[in-house]
Amino acid sequence: MNDKGLSNTCYMCRRQSTSREHVPPLCLFPEKKDFQDDPDYRKNLITIPSCDKHNLKKTSDDEYLLSVLTTHIDNNPVGVRLFNSKVVRALERRPWNLFKFYRDPFRLTVGDQSTPGFMVDRKRIDRSINRITRGIFFHHFQKKALGTALIVPSSIAARPDKKGIITNRHIFQYRQWSQDVWSIADRYGENQDIFYYQVFRFEDYERTAIRLVFYEGVVFDVLIEDYKSWIRSVFTRSRLFWDSKREQKQIV
Ligand SMILES: [Zn+2]
């Protein structure tokens, strides 16, 4: 999909765009040198126009995102290999990040498997996921999502204390319930071993759920609004109507 007519301003704000940014960040996709016998995982990546502020400011967030996502227990072998190559190399170069990225380690039982867990900096992860979702929204719908984004980290468990056990039960129930919706939705993205997304448009055409899936294991569901509420009241419903055939298929 191209974004003619929108490419002069940033996907996140109204500033002039100065470059094109990869969404999700390029660093999540393996480089050829680490995966010589594999297909090229960096072909046809999604890019969107971005201003300096929203492109350059997030380099350290990208490294954190990669370091957290690639540790997930549900990841496919590509995700595991990416951790063992690129992420381990980066940690060897900057060993102090080991303690910064994987804080307060503990043991966690998932199903009948015992696995190490660590505390995730939700604020930092959410900042990255928020940007990725808005970038994907821009790419998919050719317009900006200016309203709020509610992020459900469906793959992240709470620390299994008294409160956490209840939260985890809710997350598990949500995953079971949402499975039906997402199992029939189309998957978009060229390198689906690394990343794909799915879209569910609500009938009011003002809210959209976007599912982001990394390494076939880490899942984030984001409920995003097209417009800030004060703007929504100005626009009539017909202006918001989305008539692409592809989208109608999504809603059914
Ligand atoms: Zn911007």
Distance 222 CA to ligand 1 centre (A): 20
pLDDT in tens, 194-220: 999 999 988 766 789 999 999 999 999
Q: Which two tokens stand for residue 67?
A: 């370091």
Distance 122 CA to ligand 1 centre (A): 22
Q: What count of other Cβ atoms lies within 10 Å of the Cβ of residue 243?
A: 7
Residue ranges near ligand 1 (ion) with Cβ within 5 Å: 10, 12-13, 15, 51, 54
Distance 123 CA to ligand 1 centre (A): 19
Q: Which amino acid is at 3?
A: D
pLDDT in tens, 175-184: 888 888 899 9
Domain count, the chain: 1
What is the Cα–Cα distance from 89 to 75, expressed in whole angstroms? 19
**13 assigned to some structural domain:** no
What is the Cα–Cα distance from 79 to 1, expressed in whole angstroms? 27
Task: Give the contacts of 4 (CB within 8 A, at least 6 positions apart).
Answer: none
Distance 10 CA to ligand 1 centre (A): 5
Distance 9 CA to ligand 1 centre (A): 8
**12 assigned to some structural domain:** no
Q: Which residue has the tokens 């480089």?
A: 31
**177 assigned to some structural domain:** yes
**80 assigned to some structural domain:** yes
Distance 51 CA to ligand 1 centre (A): 4
Sorting pLDDT into bands at 50, 70 and 90, what band is 8? confident
**3 assigned to some structural domain:** no
Radius of gyration of the chain (CA): 19
Distance 219 CA to ligand 1 centre (A): 26
**2 assigned to some structural domain:** no
Total-model pTM: 0.85
**99 assigned to some structural domain:** yes
pLDDT in tens, 130-174: 999 999 999 999 888 888 899 988 888 887 788 888 888 888 888
Residue 83, domain extent: 19-251
**85 assigned to some structural domain:** yes
